[in-house]
Structure 1
């Protein structure tokens, strides 16, 4: 059985990462409305016209064994505040990418993102035995780049014209990674951040 076939919930003290379902459409739209995130030009966040296709793509990826999509839920309120996923899952080479991560405007620069990343990285390295976890963000997305560096990933370079954005812009993407020998130090740093 595929590692992605079993619905997986990752639980922390602040957030719970629950398997994305078609029934999450309204909650995702409400989360994205906090900041009107669908207006961002350097990432793709669903709006009312695209949410069903956004979810369908993620669920097809889960069925194919290449993705594990989640909603990010606040444990204190039960409110969906965003989404994230494992994707580009490659069990043969023991590597995965964490991406498609976004949080409601009011949940950004809080402990929610740090804990969500910690849960994903811990599952990737300690349970799935990955040797590499990578992150990719738009060259123009300074906030995302800074957040990825803060968790301890290393910048590897810029992939030019890596994808075409919905507005037709040819996006340059910045690639980051954490590899298995670096994980213990990154894990300790994240635990220290969460304790604060």
Structure 2
């Protein structure tokens, strides 16, 4: 994996979205983004509330300092509105791999093309700048919507990891693991570019 020591916080600019480094100053914008759809009420993913957002950001930035997390906000270009958050995490520079995860989007931009373009920007940076050989995704076994979205971007399902994590309500979650590897990236990239072109059209 390329040494990003001097570029831990890239700004990834697309046609409709910008994926930019998460900062403490984003707290109120992220609270508003999560309020669009009251995302904290979702049972299959964890989205911070107004009361927990500051701690959420602080933990993400601690991971950034440790070199294992690169947290971002997703900004819609047309109005500069923060519409969600995502991150690179589980960064393993020796084995040139990472996970894209902890992604959540305001209800009003879901299925709008925002997620596709944000994922494209992240994947392009991971494979073409950070020189990753593997990018993985993990979601709740019960989250059919998320599973379908990950498959749509071109990832391959690898299997189910039983009791992979304990959720805030105490539930022992089974997680589904997906991945894209470096040899698959050119085909995945072409597919994502076609999807984005259709959205523009």
Do these two structures clear the TM 0.5 threshold for a shared fold by scoring above it?
Answer: yes
What is residue 11 of structure 1 aligned with on the other side? Answer: 13
Query: Does the CA contact (< 8 Å) of 1:5 and 1:62 recur in 2?
Result: no
What root-mean-square deviation, in Å, do the aligned CA atoms of Structure 1 and Structure 2 show? Answer: 1.1
Alignment partners' CA distance in 2, 1:67 and 1:6 = 9
Q: What secondary structure does 1:174 align onto?
A: strand
Aligned counterpart in structure 2 of residue 126 of structure 1, from 114, 125, 128: 128
| Structure 1 unaligned spans of 5+ | none
Q: What secondary structure does 1:160 align onto?
A: strand
Q: What secondary structure does 2:183 align onto?
A: helix
What is residue 82 of structure 1 aligned with on the other side? Answer: 84
Q: Is 2:164 aligned against 1:152? A: no
TM-score when normalising by structure 2: 0.95
Query: How far has the Cα of 1:3 moved from its partner?
Result: 3.3
How many residue pairs match? The answer is: 196
Query: Does the CA contact (< 8 Å) of 1:5 and 1:65 recur in 2?
Result: no
Q: What secondary structure does 1:61 align onto?
A: helix
Query: How far has the Cα of 1:11 moved from its partner?
Result: 0.3
1:20-74 Cα offsets, whole Å, 9 max, x none, are 0011111001000010000111111010121011101100010000011000000
Moved over 6 A (4+): none
Query: How far has the Cα of 1:4 moved from its partner?
Result: 7.3
What is residue 168 of structure 2 aligned with on the other side? Answer: 166
Q: Is 2:122 aligned against 1:100? A: no
Distance 1:7 1:123, change over 3 A: same
Q: What secondary structure does 2:128 align onto?
A: helix
Alignment partners' CA distance in 2, 1:3 and 1:131 = 19
What is residue 117 of structure 1 aligned with on the other side? Answer: 119
| Structure 2 unaligned spans of 5+ | none
Distance 1:170 1:15, change over 3 A: same
Query: How far has the Cα of 1:182 moved from its partner?
Result: 0.5
What is residue 26 of structure 2 aligned with on the other side? Answer: 24
